[in-house]
Structure 1
Amino acid sequence: MKITTAVPGDLDQLLAFREEAASWISKLGSDQWSRPYPADRLLLTIEAGTVFMLRDGSRTAGTITLTPQAEEGLWTPEELGEASIFVNKLTMSRDYAGKDLGGRLLDWAGDRAYQSSAVWLRLDAWTNNAALQRYYLRHGFEHVRTVREGGAINGGPRVSGWLAQRPASPAQHGFEDQTPSPTPFGS
């Protein structure tokens, strides 16, 4: 399997992944991703080069978005002063479920963060999705805190404020990485 940078032609696949994941998560009792993600916003992240695709031959097995920017209002100024890469939208096709490809993608992300001289690989997860939180804990993340207030709409409850991090570190993820080398922090 190989990892490539997403291109605009991947937009429909990424939107379909999101719908598939939302449907599966809903059956597990969570409202995570129940609102459709705006295609124009997703296209901007693709064009920024922050979306990566896990490909199995001609099929796409999963995706992950990595950015050096945190969502506003989650991390303290001191934490934001530490070089970090933030994981967003980790999604696997249900056809590839149960193979720990998501865990290997997280290892790849931690390795990429390390290559960019980041100290941390960080994420925010849905505050009421305990299964997802346990997943990240099993993959080496430590819970930092849960931010429940200051959501994007009128400062109301935040739906994705469970914060976790793990040190950026080299990893043997086993994927063929066909992405450009990450830019080191401070460059």
Structure 2
Amino acid sequence: MIIENATPNDLGRLLAFREEAAAWLSALGSDQWRRPYPADRLLKTIESGTVFMVRDRGVTAATITLTEEAEDGLWTVDELSEPSMFVNKLTVARTHSGRDIGGSLLNWAGDRACRAGASWLRLDAWTTNDALQRYYLSHGFEHVRTVREGGAVNGGPRVSGWLAQRPARPAESSFRDLTLAPKPVSCAPDL
């Protein structure tokens, strides 16, 4: 499998990924991702170079967004002063589920964050998706807190405010990395 930067040509596939994931989550009883994601916002993140695609023999198997930008209102000023990278929209195609591609992507992201000088790999997850939260905990993340207020509209309830982090650390990747971002050669191993 390879990992590479998403291009504007991937927009349709990424939107379909989200719809597929929302339908699967709905069948499990979750309300996560029921609202369609705005295509124009997704295109902006693709163009910023922070969206990555995993391809398996030409088939898109997964996607992850990895950025230095935190969503407003989640992390404290002190936390934001620590070098961090943030995982968003990690999605694996149902055709590729059960292979822990998501775990491999988290390791890839942690390595990339470490090589960029970050101390932390952080994320926010759906506040009512206990299975997703357990998934991240099983992959070495620690729950920091759950932010329930201060949503994007009028400061209302926040649906994705379960915050977790793990140290950014070097990791071997199972992907052939074709991403465009330069990778510094040094990354301090865990002591």
Question: One fold, TM greater than 0.5?
Answer: yes
Alpha-carbon displacement from aligned partner over 1:74-113 (angstroms, at most 9, x marks no partner): 0000000001000000000000000000000000000000
Aligned-pair CA distance for 1:57: 1.5
Contact 2:5–2:52 (Cα < 8 Å) also in 1: yes
CA distance in 1, matches of 2:182, 2:152: 30
| Aligned positions of 1:121-132 closer than 5 A | 121-132=121-132
In the alignment, which residue of structure 2 is the partner of 1:42?
A: 42
The DSSP-based 3-state class of the residue aligned with 1:165 is: strand
In the alignment, which residue of structure 2 is the partner of 1:63?
A: 63
The DSSP-based 3-state class of the residue aligned with 1:11 is: helix
Please report the TM-score for the alignment, with normalisation by the length of structure 2.
0.94
In the alignment, which residue of structure 2 is the partner of 1:53?
A: 53
4+ runs deviating over 3 angstroms: 181-184
Aligned-pair CA distance for 1:49: 0.3
The DSSP-based 3-state class of the residue aligned with 1:9 is: helix
Contact 2:91–2:102 (Cα < 8 Å) also in 1: yes
Unaligned regions of 5+ residues in structure 2, if any?
185-191
Aligned-pair CA distance for 1:182: 4.6
Q: What is the letter of the counterpart of residue 164 of structure 2?
A: A
- Aligned-residue identity in percent: 71
CA distance in 1, matches of 2:168, 2:177: 17
Q: What is the letter of the counterpart of residue 158 of structure 1?
A: R
In the alignment, which residue of structure 2 is the partner of 1:75?
A: 75
Alpha-carbon displacement from aligned partner over 1:95-145 (angstroms, at most 9, x marks no partner): 000000000000000000011010000000000000000000000000000
CA distance in 2, matches of 1:173, 1:143: 25
CA distance in 2, matches of 1:65, 1:141: 17
CA distance in 1, matches of 2:182, 2:125: 24
In the alignment, which residue of structure 2 is the partner of 1:152?
A: 152
| Aligned positions of 1:1-187 closer than 5 A | 1-182=1-182
Contact 1:147–1:161 (Cα < 8 Å) also in 2: yes
CA distance in 2, matches of 1:28, 1:163: 22
